[in-house]
Amino acid sequence: MKILVCMKQVPQKDAPLKLNETAAWIRDDVSYEVNEPDAFALEEALRQKEKHTGEVVVITSGPPRSQQVLREALAKGADRAIHLEDDAFVGLDAFNTAKAFAAAIKDEKFDLIFTGLQSDDYGYAQTGVILAELLGWPHATIIMHLEKTASGIRVKRELEAGFFQFVDMPLPAVLTIQSGINKLRYATLIGIKQAKNKPIRKVLLAEVQSAIGENLQKIERLYVPQKTKKTEQIEGTPAEIAKKLVDKLRNELRVL
């Protein structure tokens, strides 16, 4: 099976974020990491390849720093990478990001495309489904299991309130992968070494420019959310804090 995994570099979970001068995006000088659901998507692709043979290709868009997620994926076992490299890709909406990806892979023939179910920065949960529609492929979202069948694949979708559902579908297809579908592997030293010789194809903005258009939505402003709840800070030494909390539990919340 030939599988493409869409990956994204996002600010680290506990990175303090500051607004930039436009007040519509964050300052770039933070630590980044791979979007967590995308790491599970990559792991699932590697496992499928180990079971059925094939190829795993990873793709991302963003400035030079975002190449790091591709390097890590190659070190874990991906065969090659595609990097849509330009600062401008950061500002694209999901519709145009999917269009840029579709243009960058137009000469490829994948059986499956995986994305994480959503990103930790925008959290739109849309790019994978949009890409499926642009390619004319079927899709399924929030996948917790995947197996090959005679006519295609059978996937297990996670639904709300503890429900699941199996869905049979033909290939090629796009799947958005849920965190926790598998256990992530670490890159080995040998893997890191081998990754240095694996190809990364760079795609410049100009090559996909004709495929993308104006954004269909716009972030007018970004801000620290206003608190709606009154929060009382409990401060002191650990022993003092413990005593104060027990006092609240007993006298204000009446649960002790």
Partner 1 sequence: MPHTILIVVEQREGKLNRVSWETVTAGQAIAAATGWTLEAAVVGSSTSGLAAEVAAKKIAKVYAVESPKLDPYTPDAFAAALKQFLTAKQPKLVLMPHTYQVRDFVPKLATAMGRTVISDCIGFKHENGKLLFTRQMFQGKLAADVSFTSDAPWFATFQNGAFRGDQAEAGASAAPVETVTVDIADGVVRTQPQELFKEVKQAVDLTQAEIIVSVGRGIKEQKNIEMAKQLADALGGEIAASRPICDSGWLPMDRQVGSSGQTVAPKLYLALGISGAIQHIVGMKGARAIIAINKDSEAPIFEIADYAVVANLFDIVPPLIEEVKKAKAGG
Residues 41-100 that bind partner 1 (CB under 8 A): 93-95, 98
Residue 69 φ/ψ, nearest 5 degrees: -65, -35
Sort 133 into a burial class: Cβ within 10 Å, 0-12 / 13-18 / 19+: middle
Q: Is 31 in the site for partner 1 (CB under 8 A)?
A: no
Nearest distance in Å: CB 146, partner 1: 14
CA 174 to chain centre: 14
Size of the site for partner 1 (CB under 8 A): 78
> Can you tell me the distance from the alpha carbon of 251 to that of 256, in angstroms, rounded to the nearest whole number?
8
Question: Which one-letter amino acid corresponds to residue 162?
Answer: G
Stretch that binds partner 1, among 16-24, 64-72, 106-114, 201-209 (CB under 8 A): 16-24
From 41-49, 77-85, 196-204, 209-217, give the range in contact with partner 1 by CB under 8 A: 209-217
Does residue 178 contact residue 144 with C-beta atoms inside 8 Å? yes
Q: Give residues 172-191 in contact with partner 1 (rule: CB under 8 A).
A: 178-180
Q: Of 21 and 238, which CB lies nearer to partner 1 in the complex structure?
A: 238
Rounded Cα–Cα distance for residues 245 and 242 (Å):
5
Total residue length of the chain: 256
Question: Judged by CB, which is closer to partner 1: 166, or 202?
Answer: 166
User: What binding mask, one character per residue, do residues 214-253 give for partner 1 by CB under 8 A, x or -?
Assistant: xxxxxxxxxxxx-xxxxxxxxx--xx-xxx-xx-xxx--x
Residue 166 amino acid letter: F
Q: How far is the CB of 172 from partner 1 (least distance, A)?
A: 11
